[in-house]
């Protein structure tokens, strides 16, 4: 059975530069591959396979030597794999159309090989030992490590593990809880004997004033200036606080419901259609 553990990492200045180079190489290959996919689709009526994209890498590294010196080879191949999965998710209606990546957004790279976790450090190819805060025991075989940096400048590592145990069998025995989603109250729960509602925390309303002020400052700053970068960080941190508040609430609520119940039934809503209502779209969007 596979699982992932996400930990906070603290690279030094030199390691940040080395990671930034690998982020840039991965981003370059993603954008180039995506452009090649669209071009090949329009000319030949089919998409390129992952193996066809990877076969282009040796020649590209000869033309652009920094792709070989700055980036671990498996990172680029992992990028091809992620693009293939993104296109598949789009075809099957699970995700939106893949977009080109920008430097200012969240960056991530995956290392499928040669990763070592020792104590409170993670060894990464072409970077070295990075300090980390690992509070959970690493049990199983490390399959992949994905390093990401948020727009506010925080670094994280998601460690994918395989403990080689069969997945647990599901059962329908026990307490059944039905969940009705709302806007005034976040959810209404009923388990056959008792019912309760959970009030809406209204995360956006708490941070809306700060977000509006910081976005105004950002719009007035000159592009490329240091003051604009400072204003961008303030906006990113405000969005991060909003996201963290929502995730914390959702994790605590989901754990409470799953601890009390063995079977959970949730109504199926057309969220995309509900967002078209201009009177309720803001409340629906902030519900998460």
Query: In 3-state terms, what secondary structure has residue 132?
Result: strand
Tens-digit pLDDT profile for residues 190-241:
887 888 788 877 777 777 888 888 899 999 999 889 999 899 988 888 888 8
Torsion sign over Cα 226, 232, 238, 242: negative
Q: What is the pLDDT of residue 288?
A: 66
Tens-digit pLDDT profile for residues 87-120:
999 999 888 899 999 887 889 999 998 888 888 8
Q: What is the pLDDT of residue 13?
A: 93
pLDDT in tens, the chain (288 residues): 788 889 999 999 999 999 999 999 999 999 999 999 999 999 998 999 999 999 999 999 999 999 999 999 899 999 999 999 999 999 998 888 999 998 878 899 999 988 888 888 999 999 999 999 988 888 888 889 999 999 888 999 999 888 777 777 777 777 888 887 776 778 888 887 888 788 877 777 777 888 888 899 999 999 889 999 899 988 888 888 888 888 888 888 888 888 888 888 887 777 777 777 777 677 666 666
CA–CA gap between residue 117 and residue 93 (Å, rounded): 36
Q: What is the pLDDT of residue 9?
A: 94
Kindly state the tokens that stand for 193. 């004997």
* 161, 140 contact by CB (below 8 A): yes
CA–CA gap between residue 157 and residue 143 (Å, rounded): 13
**Number of alpha carbons in the 13 Å side-chain half-sphere of residue 55:** 5
CA–CA gap between residue 83 and residue 100 (Å, rounded): 11
């Amino acid at each position: 059975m596979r699982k992932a553990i996400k930990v906070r990492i603290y690279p030094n200045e030199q390691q940040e530069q080395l990671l930034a180079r690998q982020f840039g190489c991965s981003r370059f290959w993603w954008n180039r591959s995506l452009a090649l996919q669209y071009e090949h689709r329009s000319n030949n009526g089919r998409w390129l396979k992952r193996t066809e994209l990877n076969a282009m890498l040796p020649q590209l590294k000869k033309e652009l030597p920094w792709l070989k010196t700055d980036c671990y080879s498996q990172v680029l191949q992992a990028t091809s794999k992620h693009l293939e999965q993104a296109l598949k998710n789009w075809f099957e209606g699970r995700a939106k159309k893949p977009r080109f990546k920008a430097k200012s957004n969240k960056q991530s790279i995956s290392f499928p090989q040669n990763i070592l976790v020792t104590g409170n450090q993670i060894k990464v190819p072409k970077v070295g030992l990075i300090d980390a805060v690992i509070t959970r025991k690493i049990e199983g075989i490390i399959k992949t490590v994905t390093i990401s940096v948020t727009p506010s400048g925080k670094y994280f590592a998601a460690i994918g593990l395989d403990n080689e145990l069969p997945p647990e069998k599901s059962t329908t025995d026990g307490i059944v809880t039905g969940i009705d989603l709302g806007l005034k109250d976040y959810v209404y729960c009923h388990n056959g004997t008792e019912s309760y509602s959970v009030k809406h925390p209204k995360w956006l309303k708490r941070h809306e004033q700060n977000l509006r002020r910081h976005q105004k400052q950002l719009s007035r700053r000159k592009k490329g200036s240091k003051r604009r970068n400072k204003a961008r960080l303030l906006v990113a941190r405000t969005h991060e606080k909003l996201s963290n508040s929502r995730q914390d609430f959702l994790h605590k609520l989901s754990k409470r419901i799953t601890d009390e119940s063995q079977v959970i039934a949730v109504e199926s809503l057309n969220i995309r259609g509900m967002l078209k209502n201009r009177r309720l779209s803001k409340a629906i969007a902030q519900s998460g």
